[in-house]
Amino acid sequence: MAATHFIHGFHAVTSRLRQRAEGVHEVFVDPDRRDMRVKDLVQLAESHGVRIVQANGKRLDGMTGGTKHQGVAARVDDLRLGHSLDDILDALTEPPLLLVLDGITDPHNLGACLRTADAAGVHAVVAPKDRAVGLNATVTKVASGAAETVPYITVTNLARTLKELKERDIWIIGTDEDAGTSLYAPGLNRGLALVLGAEGEGMRRLTRETCDELRSIPMLGSIESLNVSVATGVCLFEARRQRGG
């Protein structure tokens, strides 16, 4: 029997029903919510033959660890994206665009990064297994469905993985506020892995040393750095711009 977990929030539950309804076991709904949004969700679940269970706020709090669940949750199979990084790269017919996140521990930041990665057409997100948040319920909710669509690959040795990407002629660009080269310089239209570091600490030393190049986002105000999810959006869409949109 497949392992299961709870997801919560309208975006996360609706996305799972639309994309992998066969892996949704029950949808839990707060009976105090009778608005159209709940009715639409219930109708969608029932159209896929998914059982609806009435659950009050206290029960939903227990399922979701007390996080903001909007009155809905679902018990679903654990994600099995079923991809290795090699499989993904071997199947591509265009230069790879990868996002590498070195030690993101805030689930809201990871969820936002996944959502941005989906919007920018990233082929995979790569992260270390240790000292990083994983795909928990909060990440799934914040990602608003992107956790279902963007392959999230965890690796035991990030520096070694970056070296293997280099062997595939993928250019590794790390982001660093002190780098002398601007993000907006040419060169992002090739096979590319953009590396962003953890909140506050940036990339680890070995990760930084493995990069082919370091670039900075020009900052014109008094703030020295951006939130990692915001920086992710700036970097990925500049890469897309250089690729022709």
Predicted pLDDT at 245:
66
pTM over 0.85? The answer is no
In this structure, whether the domain defined by 85-242 belongs to CATH 3.40.1280.10 is answered with: yes
Mean of all residue pLDDT scores within the chain: 90
**Averaged pLDDT for residues 53-61:** 92
Quick: pLDDT tens for 96-143.
Answer: 999 999 989 999 999 999 999 999 999 999 999 988 888 888 888 888
What is the C-alpha separation between 202 and 177, in angstroms, rounded? 9
Rg, C-alpha atoms of the chain: 20
Backbone angles phi, psi at 207, to 5 degrees: -65, -45
Domain locations in the chain as residue ranges: 4-77, 85-242
CATH topology for 4-77 is 60s Ribosomal Protein L30; Chain: A; (3.30.1330)
pLDDT band at 82 (very low <50, low <70, confident <90, very high): low
Alpha helices by DSSP H, the chain: 10-20, 36-47, 57-64, 85-91, 107-119, 137-143, 146-149, 158-167, 205-210, 228-242
Six token digits for residue 103: 């030690």
Rounded CA gap, 89 and 107, in Å? 26
**pLDDT (0 to 100) of residue 80:** 58
pLDDT at position 233, please?
97
pLDDT at 103: 87
How much is the average pLDDT of 146-173?
93
Q: Are 114 and 79 in contact (CB under 8 A)?
A: no
Taking CA atoms, 191 is separated from 14, 100, 152, 165, 185, in Å, by 34, 13, 18, 10, 16
Strand partners, 194: 99, 173
